Structure formats: C-alpha cells, structure tokens
Chains A and B, each alone.
Chain A
C-alpha cells in the first residue's frame, strides 16, 4: 500500500438530467449554477466528532464566508448537509429526516473516514458504515477529523462540481429511492417511515425515475398512508 495514488476512487455515474421544471433556470442556466455554487448554506447540524473542525473553518483564520458559505440552522434554508464523524444508527434516522426536509438541489459531504467505511468504529454493531448506502453523498473528505484546510478544499471541490453541473446526486435519491429505502428498512426494520412524502415530491417535481417505486416502497405503503397536505375545503 506504498503508493496511495494507485488506489482507484469509486465514482458512480448517473443518468443524464431530464427537462427542468423551473422556467427561470431554463433562461440563464449558467447564472443559476454559478449562484448555487457561490452561495451554499451549510446546515448547522453536528452529527459527530468531526464538527469541531467547522467553527475554525468559519471564523477569522479560514473564513468560509469568502466562498459564500454561511451556517444555517434549519434544513429548510440549508443546501449542504455535513455529516461529520461516526454515524450511529440512532443518528442516521435523524440525518435521513433532516436530509429529506432540505429543499433540493441539496448536497451531502461526508467528513471524516467514519462516513466512508466505518472508520475506527468499523467493528461496532451500532454504527452505519457506508453513508452512501442510505443517502446520495456528493463528496467525502477523508481524515480522522480533517483539518479546516481539507474541509475548505472539499467545499471548493463541491463548488466546482456544482459549477460544472454534470453530477447531481440529489436527483439520485428521488430516482433510486427504492434502493435507498431498502437499505434503510434493512437497518431500521420494515416499519421505518419519515413524515416527508418523498415519492409525492418526486412525482410533483417530475424527478421520478423507473426505480423510484419498488418492493421496498410497497412495504413502506403498508405501514404509512402518504401524508398529503390538508386541502383547503369549503364544504
């Protein structure tokens, strides 16, 4: 294992995107992608030990605001979900709920090696080993707590990705929802459900692909009738 460069990095390719639903994006796609890349709001949700590296990245020495990145409190306002440190099974439930509450386009960065392959907790019965089984992960920043420079490097890589716009893993969650749901049910049991109606959202925004519905979603439907918003009714 003397030469690290020889180890190939696993990347996955996804289907080309379909028609956009947002007329504004159609008009000046380039500007929109630039804006999305230049203004990323980081969700202020510290899942594990790696989060201690974020404050130095935000404050005066490294100052993420230069890149247009601000910490935001609620998932509704955030774009990036930083999953830092080991992901215990209990925390994974909250991460999935928060991820589904974030408006897309949304990006997940797995900081620390525990999200990559379980890290030093690889033997533990209580931690989820590979984050990308449960959530589409854009980017991993390895290191058992990477230094702020590494975090910012990761952010710049993500900004480049967004700017180029060829990979958009957040669509993968809608298009292959059944696969992700299967893994989640495998871990949390069959009655696992979140209040967000992901399938409804997929159909509403035209992001549903062939693999969105599957046998796992059928299991989900057994336990949960979809939470449809209260309709305004006069009668």
Chain B
C-alpha cells in the first residue's frame, strides 16, 4: 500500500540527482525524467487496480493519524496522480531534453503536484503547493526573454501574496482546532469552523490557492505568463496544475466548510471569472492570449459547476474539469506552431489540414456541441444551476449561456480565419504542422473521441468518484478508523 509514497519520492529524488547525473553521463540527464514518470504512472496504475475502488490511507513515518503526514488514496486522488505523471510525460518540454535544470524543475513540480493530490494533511498540502509554485517560477522563466522575465516577476509577486494569505488561513484554522489532519478537522469543523471565522479562513485559503487555480481576483498573471512561457509549460500549468489547486479547494470545501455561503462565494467568483475571461478572449488579438483567457473562462465554469450543492455539483464540476484537462493542453500544443497574431495565420488551415481539423474538434467540444463530452459537462452544469431556486444560480446559468455565444464567435472567428483564401495564405511563411508537433494533440484528441463514444461508462465512473468525494464519513473512518462518530 505504501508504494504510493514512491510516486512523490522518486521524482523528488530524481530532481536532485539529475544535475549530478547529467554532468557525468550525458544520456542519463535526458532520459532520467521520462523514465521516472513512466515508473510512477505504472505504480499508480498497479495501486489503482489493487485498491479496487475502495479508498485507503497510509501514514508516513508510523505516526498516528492526527499527527504525522498522511496520504488519502481515494479514486479522485489516484486519478489526478496518474493524470499528473502521464500529462507531464506527454508534454515533456523540448527545453527539458537539453537543459538538466529544466528537467529537474519538471520532476520537482510533478512530485509536488502528485503530493498535493494525495496528501490528507492541511499543512502538507501547503508545502506541496509552495513547491509547485517555486518549480513553476523556474519553468516559466526558462525562455529568458525580456517579456517572460517581466511576466514571471508579476507572477511571483502575486503567488507570494497568495501563499501568505493561505498560510494565515491555515494558521487561523490551527488556532481554532489545534490540529491539521483533514479527517480530524472534519470531526471538529462542525463545532469550531462553522462561524464567520471559519469562513474567513476558507476565503483566505481559497484566494491563496486560487492564484494557481486562476480564480477571478487573482488571475491577472495568467495572460502574460501563458503568452510568453513555452507552450508546453503553459499547457501543463493551465491544464494540470490549476485543476489540482481546485481539487484541493473542493476537498477543503466538502470536508471542512459545508456552509452554503461558501458555495455562493464560489459561484460569484466563478461567474465573474467566466464573464471577464470570455469577454477578454473575444477581444484577444493573438492565439496564445486567446487560449489563456479561454482557460480563465473555463476554470470559472469549473468553479461554478462545483458551487452547485450536493453530489450533482461535484459530478458536474469533475466532468468540466476533466474535459478541460484534456482539451486545453492539446490546444496549447497546437499553439506551438501557430503562435502570433491572427493575420499571420490566414489560410494556415489549407497548409496543415490535420491541425485545423483538431482545432475545430476541440473548439466544438469547448463550446458544447452535443455528441462531444463538452456538451454533457455543460449540460449537467446548467441543469444543476437551473435546478436551484435561488436567483443567483439562475443569473450564473445566464452568464454561462451568454459566455458560450462569445466563445462560439471567437473560436470560430479564428477557425474560419484558418481557411481564409487570401493571397498571402499561400505564401511560404505560414506556419505548417508536421507529425512531430502534433503528437500530443493527436493523442488527446483520440482520448476525447474515445470519451465521446463511451460517454455512459465514463459518466457512471465519474459519478462514483463524485460520490466518494462527497462522502465525509467514509473519509473519516478510513483515516481515523471506525468508532469515531461524526458530530
């Protein structure tokens, strides 16, 4: 059972050994990273098969639960751990092959990310979150262009402030409850955290971790960073890391703060994120910024989905999150060759039809055109939102609908621009996609199509994950063992 620790430990170890190994033996530096990732994903798959769907938990270092570091392995955590390593493997940056330091940072980020997914301890979560931030600073600054450095500076300032707020939030909780173990906290939360103080703590943590989850007030850094960083890094950040941050928030929300105000807060922030994100994307002038703003919008949508009370909300949120996890990285990979303003890309569709076809597939799924999974996710969200008798939820649904119209317009303005038959489109300088650059997108596109065909099994599996996530007693009993009744 405790093989799971390897998932975090091995990449960490690799991260530190890599610079040494690379200097002595050339090929070690290049291949160590992907090999480790392959190993960890194998471990997770094996563990998943053994656990057979039942959540379990392990303590590191033999300490009893309320004290030591605990990992909680339910379906959600395992999925995201697997997703982390697989996506990192798929989107291994080109720079990482050459530069040992970038590879080390990548391994560090992967280990911290999977740690965030698995850990059941509040402070532990904070540590892993901090590690991920640091690693992402290094990766974003890798291109060393002026713009990249400036964007990273803003990003560092905002992340710093975010982590400070998260820390104060955690401290507040600690003062109230005296413990940091999530299971123990869930037991105490009913009594101690159910007041405004608890809510403030939640807000602080929300905004702290929200920086990475691109939530409304704190996502100012997103467009600049994604536009200047290398496309694969921004794919990882937008696709993977932001989802993990949201998972952490949701886990806290479900376990510690079941109050309705928290949900409405999430809804409001999500709605503002969607509205501003989509509007800005409609106004964007080049492909990466459009994708950046679109990811802000999509994450706002994820947040609104999670804000639906009860299991339906979790299910809708997970559906939208998983869908975004697949689509956004693929679009960023497309951006590798199609970077820059729209004018330069006029007619690029004729030169690389496969890439254009993929773009249209992903665009359709983002907008929510029926057979594709994007539609089911958005449908569940909307039905959930419209199911509440509260006018805020209905306005939220309205905003989503309005945003979809803008989304359709700007995505297909770009899509049709690809097929503009202008004279300059035939010229040589229009970027062309070859098989190498399309690899990850093709794989993700295939995953999307498979999901479309097997929509019901995937749907039922996701419902199972959502049930597990919503079940607080299951969490407490597995971590603290039976006998501790839940207040």
Direct contact of A and B (CB under 8 A): no
